[in-house]
Amino acid sequence: MLYINCPHCGMRSQNEFSYGGDASVKRPQLNKEISDKDWDDFVYNRKSLRGKHLELWQHISGCRQWIKVERDTATHEIFRTFKADEEVA
Amino acid sequence: MQKYSIFNLVKNAFSNHENWDLAWKDPTPKEEYDVVIIGGGGHGLATAYYLAKEHNITKVAIIEKGWIGGGNVGRNTTIIRSNYMHDENGLFSEFGMDLWRRMSQDLNYNVMFSPRGIINLAHSDAQMNAYARRGNSMRLNGIDAVLLNREQVKEIIPMADFSDNVRFPIFGGLMQPSAGTARHDAVAWGYARQADSMGVDIIQNCEVIGFDVSAGKINGIRTSRGNIKAKKVGLCVAGSTNILAEKLNMTLPIETHLLQACVSEPIKPVLDNVVTFGAGHFYVSQSDKGEMVMGGDLDGYNSYAQRGNLPTLQHVLTEGIAMMPFLSKLKMLRTWGGIMDMSMDGSPIIDKTHIEGLYLNCGWCYGGFKATPASGWTFAHTIAQDRVHELNAGYSLNRFSTGHLIDEKGLGTKTWIS
């Protein structure tokens, strides 16, 4: 069982969360010219890192907020969690 | 190579079975090969076998980080089927079914192929309609499909829950009678033994550290046991695809996820077929030893752990108990996990890449085991001829850019969509 420290609600079990994928992926800006390659990278292509991975989770059975989680994909250790709009250094 | 036969078995019995040849050798890497296959799993071993058998290319090495057959070919639920609606998947898998039927003879190795049939259960009228459509598509591609009503399903699997007050009543099902199971380890070992006998070097405990690429062309690989020159390199590394892609500066439409399976304690024969639950993601069959072999959804988040987490197992088995309540009485014997190369549309990739001489085989999602022979056969063709075969033309890498996705069931990386 993973335990995720929701920045809004505190420590909860993974059963309350839903996974949203790589949080480092940025949607291309809408008002600018976008190449097909940029769209492919945004929609489909992923690094899927082994090790520290910044990812989105939604506290679906709690506050329903999207959050960012820094987790190791090889050991499942969770290092830090952030609000969705927090910049991660 | 020593032939495996009843006569050799009797002959060797007189010497206490101490004089059997080794099934495959343990060579040191040579300086150069025509083709290097990275990954000594089912697909890599099959690729090497078909390179030698169909294309007469025997200066081939298989480079394996651990031991052969230690990844997903040793961790799956052994189901073999071709019950797909889309032409790309149906024709590819049905070609594979033909290879499965002949495999024990071809490899002189008993892979215990057991065409016991698979039944996908339907739990609504809408689902029956969808299954009728898929069944018709299958039959148009020459694949056997039978639409069963509730009574017919009850005759085959009376132990399923046919009572009136259930959340997901069984309306019927779609059966592919020629589908089945096989002994998964034997598939890896059979391919390894034959490939080895034709001159392929199987190099274990040898990790790929990097690639030697210049002017858009592959020249070789760097490994923990030294540099190896190669004219062509094929990647067959399933859950490690992204790790090697990073060394090649490639970003792929692949995420690595964790998939679990489990077996119960062995019981007397109760289930003749493979059965899947239609209102979720659960499947079950009974092994020759009597264990109920079960599996279902991904754990749901990126992982390289090769070991599972209990919430998903509980979710999957809850579906199993809803379908066949007697399962709740069984003790769990073993659970395990493997890491899957999940593609974004749920269909695989067998293709050339932008680097000359580098070929890619990945994206097998939930269905890598059954594809082993067809994947090896088409990948060998793609490498040997430097062009894709019509059977894997749809499994292109650029389909994500062109929009030609093969969206069989939408079962890619996002489990919550299905």
Summarised one tens digit per residue, pLDDT across range B11-32 is: 999 999 999 999 999 999 999 9
- Mean pLDDT rounded to a whole number for chain B: 96
Above 60 in pLDDT, residue B417?
no
* Short-list B60, B99, B100, B102, CA closest to B79: B100
Q: Using CB atoms and an 8 Å cut-off, which of residues 5-24 of chain A contact chain B?
A: 13-15, 18-19, 21-22
Arithmetic mean of pLDDT, B360-376: 97
Model confidence band, residue B418 (pLDDT cutoffs 50, 70, 90):
very low
Tell me if A75 and B305 make a contact (CB, 8 A cut-off). Answer: yes
Arithmetic mean of pLDDT, A25-41: 90
- In B, minimum Cα distance to A70 occurs at B302
Say whether residue B300 is in contact with chain A using an 8 A CB cutoff.
Answer: yes
Percent over 70 (pLDDT), chain B: 99
pLDDT of residue B29: 97
Kindly report the pTM of this predicted structure: 0.96
Model confidence band, residue B401 (pLDDT cutoffs 50, 70, 90):
very high
Supply the DSSP symbol for B358: E
Residue B43's H or E segment, with its range, is helix B42-55
Arithmetic mean of pLDDT, A21-29: 92
Domain architecture of chain A: domains with CATH: 3-25+38-83 (3.30.2270.10)
* DSSP string for residues in B252-305: BSEEEEEEEEEEE---SS---SEEEETTTTEEEEE-TTSPEEEEEEEEEEE---
Q: How far is A28 from chain B (nearest CA, A)?
A: 16
Over residues B243-267, the pLDDT tens digits come to 999 999 999 999 999 999 999 999 9
Q: Out of B251, B304, B311, whose CB is closest to A47? A: B251
Q: Out of A1, A44, A53, whose CB is closest to B302? A: A53
Say whether residue B302 is in contact with chain A using an 8 A CB cutoff.
Answer: yes
Tell me if A73 and B256 make a contact (CB, 8 A cut-off). Answer: yes
Q: Out of B255, B301, B309, whose CB is closest to A46? A: B255
Above 50 in pLDDT, residue B164?
yes
Above 80 in pLDDT, residue B171?
yes
Report how far residue B90's alpha carbon sits from residue A10's, in angstroms, rounded to the nearest whole number.
48
Above 70 in pLDDT, residue B300?
yes
Residues in chain B with CB shorter than 8 Å from the CB of A22 are 255, 302
How many interchain CB pairs under 8 A, A with B? 70
pLDDT of residue A89: 76
Q: How far is A18 from chain B (nearest CA, A)?
A: 8
Over residues A49-76, the pLDDT tens digits come to 999 999 999 999 999 999 999 999 999 9
Residues in chain A with CB shorter than 8 Å from the CB of B413 are 21
pLDDT of residue B226: 96
Model confidence band, residue B408 (pLDDT cutoffs 50, 70, 90):
confident
Say whether residue A75 is in contact with chain B using an 8 A CB cutoff.
Answer: yes
Residues 6+ apart with CB under 8 A from B249: none
Model confidence band, residue A30 (pLDDT cutoffs 50, 70, 90):
confident
Sequence letter at residue A56: L
Q: What is the ipTM of this complex?
A: 0.95
pLDDT of residue A67: 98
